[in-house]
Structure 1
């Protein structure tokens, strides 16, 4: 029974991590047109896996993507410099959508694992009652 509760704990950690990842992706998409915005990335900490101390992935610090931001030419923009350029963001919507899809699939996989462990523990309790 402890193994089932550990697997449910690990999958709930995965669910929490993927929901945080989706939150950062949605923030990046929301700020795609914000001048000077840098894309946020979520680092992941994993512990050594042993049967006695199983722990799922944990979210680490938020890292700002260091890829270069776009220089956009628009002399009418209020933030434009003397050459008519201003700094855009380094958010690529195609990459963000791909990250969102990957996080969604990982979330669904963790949810399925949690449901399977819950069903197995329920079945085990039913067997023990008989």
Structure 2
């Protein structure tokens, strides 16, 4: 039964990591028009004991080092003497692609979790006979 609990632990940690990734992507999308906002990313890191991988977790949130967009709008309250201000560096296409990838990874891990649970239940049924 240890292999089943290990598999459930790995998939549960992956579900949590993808949920964190979706939260960060949604923050980026919400702030796409916020002046001075820098895109956030979250790396994944493997958690392991001596030789066994025990799961995956979201690492520290990082801010993108891509230059902020300069926007010309002399009427904007944050505009400088030349009429420019710094917008965000969030690209909606990238964020939508990241959200879709995280969603599909989440769904794949959820299916793996369910299949492992079903195999464990089937094994218990066989052992009862």
Quickly name the TM-score band, shorter chain normalised: over 0.9
Q: Deviations over 1:35-89 (max 9, x none)?
A: 0000000021113587x74311111100001001100000000000000000000
* Count of aligned positions: 129
Q: Give the conservation status (yes or no) of the 8 Å contact 2:71–2:86.
A: yes
Specify every segment of 5 or more residues in structure 2 that has no aligned partner in the other structure, as ranges: none
TM-score by length of 2: 0.96
Distance 1:54 1:80 in 2: 51
What is the aligned partner in structure 2 of residue 68 from structure 1? 67
**1:77-96 equivalences in 2 (<5 Å):** 77-96=76-95
Q: CA RMSD in A?
A: 1.4
Distance 1:48 1:129 in 2: 34
Which segments of structure 1 move beyond 4 Å, counting only runs of 4 or more?
none
Distance 2:101 2:49 in 1: 23
TM-score by length of 1: 0.95
| Secondary structure of residue in 2 paired with 1:46 | strand
What is the aligned partner in structure 2 of residue 39 from structure 1? 39
